[in-house]
């Protein structure tokens, strides 16, 4: 049986403007500058503060955000709301309390040939048949950025036939691959770490330590990788000193021959701090990067257009359409300017709260002074949503007296020490790292022993927690930390 009934439902939805504001807050300084550039290109009613402005400025206080693009009636538009007789534009009355930043905003980088082109240029010095050159060119194209070919020879043979029309055999491809192995940097074109190390060792002068290293990598690579040194001593009938010399030769090798190529034409990531913290007379002083506070205003051309429409005695349909377009662009410009101001305020308020919360750490630079702090702590302090704090913390950097830090590094969970006090997990990780660095590498400490040591220091932590922290710090297990 069908029934009809009314149901009332209350729900919260973010408006498009709120979503855009959240995206603006999340952007770091360089991305924010690109966003402003995009908006300036898309909205002709928006100008930056670099040009002379007519004194007829856009009146910011009379903006009606209930405006709907689809229901504009030009007869209802109050032109006076968009014009002002103020002698001095409001933006010229604002003080700049942000840090000076006159540096060049572009990031220069050296031009150079790609790694692939570098290898192909070397191939041109070899006498190869047309087919061999095509195979060699295909192999070079299959080398990844670390210098490896991570494909089976049979798959390469098939791809050469299907994509290049080159019909060959596994043997011919291997012969060409041997030529690739003679190129610089040594080890390039290897199909595994074992092969890469062997290629480099075979290029070294034939000394005893090198010969032992070649034998170990060639015949007992798995035992070497797992640091079963006793088995290696017995298998190759060598002394501990001889094994140590061989290991030293291997440690000198480059496991990623492609990664060390300086000609790679990649743009190095350039971190621009969004904030700066300085210690002035024993107190912390916070400034926001001046590039986050651009001078934007509404174009005086558009204001003049509205003034002309207002003074016109006869209003044609084309004029009304133009006013419709102008009002839309002016409203969009006004919203964007307000959104930038709100972004600046949100960033400054959030970072100020973080700075005061971690005052002891920022004054000393000692990670042991880093207090446990989670997103909720700051959100409660500034009366904002946790997601807003997260957007600020995850993508912003701050320049401190101790280096440039990612803001999210100031956040950490809390654990209880043996006195019942809350301590930062970052503090515990620092202690764990110090203990591991000081251990006897001939007898590295197991996770169980590490847990006992930290317990003695007043941090009762389970073995599995030690293992988790060790992995987060990229510290291998005890067996792989062993040295002879």
242-261 average pLDDT score: 86
Mean pLDDT of 241-267: 78
β-pairing, 397-400 with 275-280? parallel
Short-list 210, 212, 194, CA closest to 202: 210
SS3 42: helix
Cβ atoms 182, 257 nearer than 8 A? no
Rounded to whole angstroms, how far apart are CA atoms 444 and 437? 10
Split at pLDDT 50, 70, 90, the class of 6 is confident
Q: Are residues 302 and 325 in the same domain?
A: yes
* Alpha helices, H only, 160-299: 170-180, 193-201, 208-219, 221-225, 229-236, 240-251
Q: Would the pLDDT of 303 be above 70?
A: no
140-144, 268-272, 449-453: least confident range? 268-272
Question: What's 474's domain CATH number?
Answer: 1.10.10.60
Residue 405 and residue 271 share a domain: yes
Cα 212 to its chain centre, rounded Å, is 42
What is the distance between the alpha carbons of residues 182 and 344, in angstroms, rounded to a whole number?
56
Please state, in angstroms and rounded to a whole number, the distance separating the CA atoms of residues 432 and 376: 27
| DSSP assignment letter at 255 | S
Q: What local confidence, expressed as pLDDT, does residue 480 receive?
A: 80
SS3 letters across 135-196: HHHHHHHCCCCCCECCCCHHHHHHHHHHHHCCCCCHHHHHHHHHHHCCCCCCCCCECCHHHH
C-beta separation of 66 from 42 below 8 A: no
Residues 93 and 210 placed together within one structural domain of the fold:
no
User: Strand pairing partners for 148?
Assistant: 190
Domain termination site, one of 226, 251, 276: 251
Q: What per-residue confidence (pLDDT) applies to 115?
A: 84
Query: Among all chains, which residue has been given the structure tokens 């591991």?
Result: 436
Crossing angle of the two packed helices 240-251 and 229-236, in degrees rounded to 10: 110
Is the domain of 312 the same as that of 402? yes
C-alpha–C-alpha distance, residues 83 and 62, integer Å: 10
State the virtual CA torsion across 456, 460, 466, 472 in degrees, nearest 10. Answer: -110
Helix (H) or strand (E) holding 405: strand 403-406
Helix ranges, 358-413 (H): 359-364, 375-382, 386-395
Token representation of residue 340: 């930038």
Structural domain span for residue 29: 16-100+267-411
Whether residue 460 sits in one domain with residue 383: no
Q: What is the pLDDT of residue 31?
A: 85
Q: Does 161 share its domain with 223? A: yes
Are 228 and 311 in the same domain?
A: no
260 is a domain residue = no
Strands 397-400 vs 283-288: parallel, antiparallel or unpaired: unpaired
Structurally, how many domains does the chain consist of?
3
Of 364, 383, 411, the position where a domain reaches its end is 411
Give the residues across from 287 on adjacent strands.
276
Asked, for residue 258, whether it belongs to a domain, the answer is: no
Residue 261 forms part of a structural domain: no
Shared domain check, 386 and 281:
yes
285 and 314: one domain? Answer: yes
Residue 184 is assigned to a structural domain of this protein: yes
**398 & 271 share domain:** yes
Per-residue pLDDT tens for 64-120? 443 333 333 444 455 455 544 444 444 444 444 455 444 444 555 455 578 888 889
**Whether residue 271 sits in one domain with residue 400:** yes
Q: Is residue 7 part of a domain?
A: no
How many whole angstroms separate alpha carbon 405 and alpha carbon 35?
24
* Residue 127 lies inside a defined structural domain of this protein: yes
Give the pLDDT score at 438: 86
Mean pLDDT (the chain, rounded)? 79
- Identify the pLDDT of residue 434: 87
Residue 106 lies in a domain: no
Q: Is residue 476 part of a domain?
A: yes
Q: Where is the domain boundary, 219, 251, 283? A: 251
In this structure, are residues 429 and 439 in contact, taking their beta carbons and an 8 Å threshold? no
Range among 12-21, 67-76, 326-335, 409-418 with highest mean pLDDT value = 326-335
**Whether residues 418 and 407 fall in one domain:** no
């Amino acid at each position: 049986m069908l029934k009809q009934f009314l149901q009332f439902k209350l729900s919260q939805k973010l408006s498009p403007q709120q979503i855009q504001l959240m995206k603006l807050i999340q952007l770091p300084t360089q991305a924010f500058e690109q966003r402003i550039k995009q908006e300036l290109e898309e909205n002709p009613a928006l100008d930056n503060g670099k040009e002379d402005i007519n004194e007829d400025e856009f009146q910011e206080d009379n903006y009606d955000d209930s405006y709907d693009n689809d229901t504009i009636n030009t007869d209802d538009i109050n032109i006076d709301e968009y014009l002002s007789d103020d002698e001095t534009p409001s933006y010229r009355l604002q003080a700049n309390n942000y840090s000076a930043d006159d540096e060049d905003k572009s990031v220069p980088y050296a031009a150079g040939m790609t790694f692939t082109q570098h290898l192909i240029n070397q191939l041109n010095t070899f006498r190869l048949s047309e087919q061999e050159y095509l195979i060699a060119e295909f192999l070079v194209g299959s080398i990844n950025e670390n210098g490896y070919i991570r494909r089976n020879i049979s798959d390469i043979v098939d791809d050469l036939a299907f994509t290049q029309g080159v019909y060959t055999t596994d043997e011919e491809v291997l012969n060409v691959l041997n030529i690739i192995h003679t190129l610089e940097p040594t080890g390039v074109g290897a199909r595994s770490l074992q092969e890469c190390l062997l290629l480099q060792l075979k290029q070294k002068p034939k000394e005893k330590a090198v010969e032992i290293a070649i034998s170990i990598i060639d015949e007992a690579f798995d035992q070497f990788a797992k640091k079963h040194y006793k088995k290696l001593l017995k298998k190759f009938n060598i002394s501990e000193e001889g094994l140590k010399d061989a290991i030293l030769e291997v440690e000198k090798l480059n496991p990623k021959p492609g990664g060390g190529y300086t000609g790679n034409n990649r743009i190095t990531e350039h971190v621009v701090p969004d904030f700066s913290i300085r210690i002035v007379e024993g107190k912390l002083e916070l400034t926001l990067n001046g590039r986050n506070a651009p001078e934007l205003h509404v174009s005086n051309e558009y204001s003049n257009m509205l003034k002309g429409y207002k003074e016109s005695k006869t209003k044609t349909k084309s004029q009304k359409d133009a006013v419709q377009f102008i009002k839309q662009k002016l409203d969009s410009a006004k919203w964007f300017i307000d959104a930038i101001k709100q972004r600046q305020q949100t960033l400054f308020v959030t970072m100020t709260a973080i700075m005061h919360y971690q005052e002891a750490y920022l004054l000393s630079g000692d990670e042991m002074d880093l207090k446990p702090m989670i997103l909720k702590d700051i959100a409660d302090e500034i009366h904002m949503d946790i997601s807003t704090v997260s957007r600020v913390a995850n993508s912003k950097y701050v320049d401190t007296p101790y280096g440039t830090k990612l803001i999210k590094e100031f956040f950490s969970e809390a654990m209880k020490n043996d006195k019942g006090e809350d301590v930062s997990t970052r503090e515990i990780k620092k202690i764990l790292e110090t203990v591991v660095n000081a251990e006897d590498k001939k007898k590295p400490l197991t996770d169980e022993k590490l847990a006992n040591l930290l317990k003695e220091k007043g941090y009762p932590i389970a073995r599995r927690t030690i293992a988790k922290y060790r992995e987060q710090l990229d510290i291998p297990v005890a067996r792989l930390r062993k040295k002879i």
